[in-house]
A and B are shown apart, each in its own frame.
Chain A
Amino acid sequence: EPEVTQTPSHQVTQMGQEVILRCVPISNHLYFYWYRQILGQKVEFLVSFYNNEISEKSEIFDDQFSVERPDGSNFTLKIRSTKLEDSAMYFCASSEGGVGAFFGQGTRLTVV
Protein backbone atom coordinates (compact mmCIF):
# COMPACT_ATOMS: atom_id res chain seq x y z
CA GLU A 1 0.00 0.00 0.00
CA PRO A 2 1.44 3.41 -0.92
CA GLU A 3 2.49 5.65 1.95
CA VAL A 4 3.58 9.21 2.55
CA THR A 5 7.21 9.20 3.63
CA GLN A 6 9.03 11.90 5.56
CA THR A 7 12.69 12.52 6.23
CA PRO A 8 14.38 12.90 8.58
CA SER A 9 12.47 11.23 11.41
CA HIS A 10 14.18 13.48 13.94
CA GLN A 11 16.05 16.74 13.45
CA VAL A 12 17.86 18.75 16.08
CA THR A 13 18.83 22.28 15.14
CA GLN A 14 20.18 25.37 16.80
CA MET A 15 17.93 28.40 17.22
CA GLY A 16 18.26 30.69 14.23
CA GLN A 17 19.25 27.96 11.82
CA GLU A 18 17.31 27.01 8.70
CA VAL A 19 15.75 23.58 8.42
CA ILE A 20 14.16 21.76 5.53
CA LEU A 21 11.72 18.96 6.20
CA ARG A 22 11.13 16.61 3.32
CA CYS A 23 8.14 14.59 2.22
CA VAL A 24 7.28 12.27 -0.61
CA PRO A 25 3.48 12.26 -1.02
CA ILE A 26 1.51 9.40 -2.52
CA SER A 27 2.17 9.55 -6.23
CA ASN A 28 -1.30 10.10 -7.71
CA HIS A 29 -2.41 12.58 -5.04
CA LEU A 30 -3.06 16.18 -5.96
CA TYR A 31 -3.25 17.97 -2.61
CA PHE A 32 -0.40 18.29 -0.16
CA TYR A 33 -0.36 19.55 3.39
CA TRP A 34 1.82 20.28 6.37
CA TYR A 35 0.54 20.02 9.91
CA ARG A 36 2.33 20.28 13.19
CA GLN A 37 1.75 19.06 16.72
CA ILE A 38 3.47 20.71 19.64
CA LEU A 39 3.89 18.26 22.50
CA GLY A 40 0.64 17.88 24.40
CA GLN A 41 -1.35 20.00 21.98
CA LYS A 42 -3.66 19.49 19.01
CA VAL A 43 -2.60 18.67 15.49
CA GLU A 44 -2.65 22.06 13.74
CA PHE A 45 -2.93 22.87 10.06
CA LEU A 46 -0.07 24.88 8.58
CA VAL A 47 -0.50 24.97 4.81
CA SER A 48 -2.09 23.26 1.84
CA PHE A 49 -0.64 23.11 -1.65
CA TYR A 50 -2.37 22.37 -4.94
CA ASN A 51 -1.42 22.85 -8.56
CA ASN A 52 2.01 24.16 -7.60
CA GLU A 53 0.81 26.90 -5.33
CA ILE A 54 -0.37 27.47 -1.79
CA SER A 55 -4.13 27.07 -1.61
CA GLU A 56 -4.54 27.91 2.07
CA LYS A 57 -2.32 28.76 5.01
CA SER A 58 -2.90 29.28 8.70
CA GLU A 59 -1.84 32.16 10.91
CA ILE A 60 1.06 30.02 12.09
CA PHE A 61 2.46 29.90 8.56
CA ASP A 62 4.21 33.26 8.58
CA ASP A 63 7.13 34.55 6.51
CA GLN A 64 9.48 32.19 8.32
CA PHE A 65 7.85 29.27 6.56
CA SER A 66 7.84 28.28 2.92
CA VAL A 67 6.85 25.22 0.93
CA GLU A 68 8.07 23.92 -2.35
CA ARG A 69 7.54 21.06 -4.71
CA PRO A 70 10.95 21.09 -6.37
CA ASP A 71 10.32 18.10 -8.60
CA GLY A 72 7.54 15.67 -9.38
CA SER A 73 7.82 13.75 -6.14
CA ASN A 74 9.14 15.81 -3.22
CA PHE A 75 7.29 18.34 -1.10
CA THR A 76 9.35 20.37 1.34
CA LEU A 77 8.75 22.66 4.31
CA LYS A 78 11.44 25.20 5.05
CA ILE A 79 11.72 27.15 8.27
CA ARG A 80 14.16 30.00 7.69
CA SER A 81 15.25 30.96 11.18
CA THR A 82 14.06 28.47 13.74
CA LYS A 83 12.79 29.50 17.14
CA LEU A 84 12.44 27.41 20.29
CA GLU A 85 8.67 27.42 19.84
CA ASP A 86 9.01 25.73 16.45
CA SER A 87 9.88 22.52 18.29
CA ALA A 88 7.11 20.10 17.34
CA MET A 89 6.22 17.02 15.34
CA TYR A 90 5.66 18.03 11.72
CA PHE A 91 3.36 15.89 9.61
CA CYS A 92 3.12 15.86 5.87
CA ALA A 93 -0.10 14.61 4.30
CA SER A 94 -1.53 14.14 0.84
CA SER A 95 -4.96 13.45 -0.60
CA GLU A 96 -6.81 12.91 -3.82
CA GLY A 97 -9.30 15.50 -2.58
CA GLY A 98 -12.35 15.17 -0.39
CA VAL A 99 -11.73 11.66 0.92
CA GLY A 100 -9.49 12.33 3.89
CA ALA A 101 -5.76 12.83 3.93
CA PHE A 102 -3.01 10.26 4.35
CA PHE A 103 -0.25 11.17 6.76
CA GLY A 104 3.44 10.55 6.93
CA GLN A 105 5.10 9.25 10.07
CA GLY A 106 6.23 12.73 11.06
CA THR A 107 9.49 14.57 11.65
CA ARG A 108 10.27 15.52 15.21
CA LEU A 109 11.96 18.91 15.15
CA THR A 110 13.86 19.95 18.26
CA VAL A 111 15.20 23.50 18.38
CA VAL A 112 17.87 24.06 21.02
Chain B
Amino acid sequence: AQRVTQPEKLLSVFKGAPVELKCNYSYSGSPELFWYVQYSRQRLQLLLRHISRESIKGFTADLNKGETSFHLKKPFAQEEDSAMYYCALSGQGGGNKLVFGAGTILRVKS
Protein backbone atom coordinates (compact mmCIF):
# COMPACT_ATOMS: atom_id res chain seq x y z
CA ALA B 1 0.00 0.00 0.00
CA GLN B 2 1.12 3.53 -0.70
CA ARG B 3 1.02 5.75 2.34
CA VAL B 4 2.55 9.04 3.44
CA THR B 5 2.64 9.97 7.09
CA GLN B 6 3.23 13.44 8.43
CA PRO B 7 3.05 13.02 12.18
CA GLU B 8 2.76 16.69 13.14
CA LYS B 9 -0.39 18.67 12.36
CA LEU B 10 1.24 21.88 13.55
CA LEU B 11 4.83 22.94 14.01
CA SER B 12 5.43 26.29 15.63
CA VAL B 13 8.94 27.78 15.70
CA PHE B 14 10.52 31.16 16.26
CA LYS B 15 12.04 33.13 13.42
CA GLY B 16 15.66 32.10 12.95
CA ALA B 17 15.18 28.66 14.49
CA PRO B 18 15.80 25.47 12.54
CA VAL B 19 12.84 23.67 11.03
CA GLU B 20 12.30 20.00 10.35
CA LEU B 21 9.01 18.79 8.94
CA LYS B 22 8.77 15.03 9.16
CA CYS B 23 7.58 12.72 6.42
CA ASN B 24 7.62 8.93 6.35
CA TYR B 25 6.36 6.81 3.55
CA SER B 26 5.34 3.28 2.72
CA TYR B 27 5.73 2.06 -0.84
CA SER B 28 6.56 -1.32 -2.32
CA GLY B 29 8.93 -0.05 -4.98
CA SER B 30 11.10 2.97 -5.67
CA PRO B 31 8.97 6.05 -5.18
CA GLU B 32 9.46 9.61 -6.22
CA LEU B 33 9.04 11.98 -3.28
CA PHE B 34 7.88 15.58 -3.32
CA TRP B 35 7.18 18.45 -0.98
CA TYR B 36 4.34 20.81 -1.82
CA VAL B 37 3.62 24.09 -0.07
CA GLN B 38 0.34 25.95 0.19
CA TYR B 39 0.50 29.56 1.37
CA SER B 40 -2.66 31.15 2.70
CA ARG B 41 -5.37 31.28 0.01
CA GLN B 42 -2.99 30.12 -2.70
CA ARG B 43 -2.63 26.99 -4.78
CA LEU B 44 -0.51 23.96 -3.98
CA GLN B 45 2.99 24.69 -5.28
CA LEU B 46 5.72 22.18 -5.92
CA LEU B 47 8.55 23.01 -3.53
CA LEU B 48 11.02 20.14 -3.87
CA ARG B 49 11.41 16.77 -5.52
CA HIS B 50 13.94 14.27 -4.29
CA ILE B 51 15.19 13.43 -7.74
CA SER B 52 16.48 16.98 -8.24
CA ARG B 53 18.42 17.18 -4.99
CA GLU B 54 17.93 20.95 -5.06
CA SER B 55 17.49 23.62 -2.41
CA ILE B 56 14.51 25.92 -2.81
CA LYS B 57 13.95 28.93 -0.55
CA GLY B 58 16.58 27.47 1.77
CA PHE B 59 14.70 24.17 2.16
CA THR B 60 16.29 20.80 1.53
CA ALA B 61 15.04 17.24 1.81
CA ASP B 62 17.00 14.01 1.65
CA LEU B 63 15.47 10.69 0.81
CA ASN B 64 16.47 8.08 3.37
CA LYS B 65 15.43 4.72 1.97
CA GLY B 66 16.52 2.83 5.09
CA GLU B 67 14.22 4.88 7.30
CA THR B 68 11.68 5.46 4.51
CA SER B 69 11.76 9.16 5.29
CA PHE B 70 11.89 12.41 3.36
CA HIS B 71 12.07 15.11 6.02
CA LEU B 72 12.05 18.75 4.99
CA LYS B 73 14.63 20.98 6.64
CA LYS B 74 15.61 24.59 6.80
CA PRO B 75 18.37 25.92 9.06
CA PHE B 76 16.80 29.32 9.79
CA ALA B 77 13.03 29.80 9.58
CA GLN B 78 11.57 33.02 8.23
CA GLU B 79 8.10 34.41 8.85
CA GLU B 80 7.23 34.05 5.16
CA ASP B 81 7.75 30.28 5.48
CA SER B 82 4.47 30.04 7.41
CA ALA B 83 2.25 27.78 5.32
CA MET B 84 0.84 24.27 4.99
CA TYR B 85 3.40 21.72 3.82
CA TYR B 86 2.43 18.45 2.17
CA CYS B 87 4.69 15.51 1.54
CA ALA B 88 3.67 13.35 -1.43
CA LEU B 89 4.87 10.31 -3.30
CA SER B 90 4.31 8.79 -6.69
CA GLY B 91 5.55 5.73 -8.50
CA GLN B 92 8.44 6.13 -10.90
CA GLY B 93 7.59 6.77 -14.50
CA GLY B 94 5.42 9.29 -16.22
CA GLY B 95 2.01 10.38 -15.13
CA ASN B 96 1.63 8.49 -11.88
CA LYS B 97 -0.79 9.80 -9.27
CA LEU B 98 0.38 11.58 -6.15
CA VAL B 99 -0.40 10.20 -2.71
CA PHE B 100 -0.41 12.98 -0.12
CA GLY B 101 0.24 13.11 3.57
CA ALA B 102 -2.16 14.96 5.83
CA GLY B 103 0.00 18.06 5.83
CA THR B 104 1.80 20.05 8.52
CA ILE B 105 1.06 23.67 9.28
CA LEU B 106 4.29 25.55 9.86
CA ARG B 107 3.89 28.68 11.93
CA VAL B 108 6.93 30.93 12.26
CA LYS B 109 6.63 33.40 15.10
CA SER B 110 8.50 36.67 15.32
Interface set of A (CB-CB < 8 Å, partner B): 3-4, 30-31, 33, 35, 41-45, 48, 50, 55-56, 58, 91, 93, 95-106
In the bound complex, what is the Cα–Cα distance between A103 and B49 (angstroms)? 15
In the bound complex, what is the Cα–Cα distance between A101 and B98 (angstroms)? 8
Stretch at the interface among B12-20, B58-66, B69-77, B99-107: B99-107
**A42-B103, A99-B49 known; A33-B43 Cβ under 8 A:** no
B97 pairs with A97, CB closer than 8 A: no
**A99-B49, A103-B44, A105-B42 known; A45-B97 Cβ under 8 A:** yes
- Which residues of the other chain, A, contact B93 by a CB distance below 8 angstroms? 97-98
Overall SS of chain B's interface: loop
A105 pairs with B43, CB closer than 8 A: yes
**A42-B102, A42-B103, A43-B100 known; A91-B95 Cβ under 8 A:** no
Q: Does B32 sit within 8 A of A, measured CB to CB?
A: yes
Residue of B nearest to A91 (CB): B44
Q: Which 5 A-B residue pairs are closest in the complex by CB-CB distance? A: A97-B94, A31-B95, A103-B44, A43-B100, A45-B97
**A43-B44, A98-B32, A100-B34 known; A31-B103 Cβ under 8 A:** no
A55 pairs with B95, CB closer than 8 A: yes
Q: Does B46 sit within 8 A of A, measured CB to CB?
A: yes
Which residues of chain B from 15 to 60 have any CB-CB distance to chain A below 8 Å in the complex? 32, 34, 36, 42-46, 49, 51
In the bound complex, what is the Cα–Cα distance between A56 and B101 (angstroms)? 20
**A101-B46, A102-B46, A103-B44 known; A33-B101 Cβ under 8 A:** no
A43 pairs with B94, CB closer than 8 A: no
Q: Does B85 sit within 8 A of A, measured CB to CB?
A: no
Residue of A nearest to B102 (CB): A42
- Which residues of the other chain, B, contact A42 by a CB distance below 8 angstroms? 100-103
Q: Does B92 sit within 8 A of A, measured CB to CB?
A: yes
- Which residues of the other chain, A, contact B103 by a CB distance below 8 angstroms? 42-43
**A42-B100, A43-B100 known; A98-B94 Cβ under 8 A:** yes
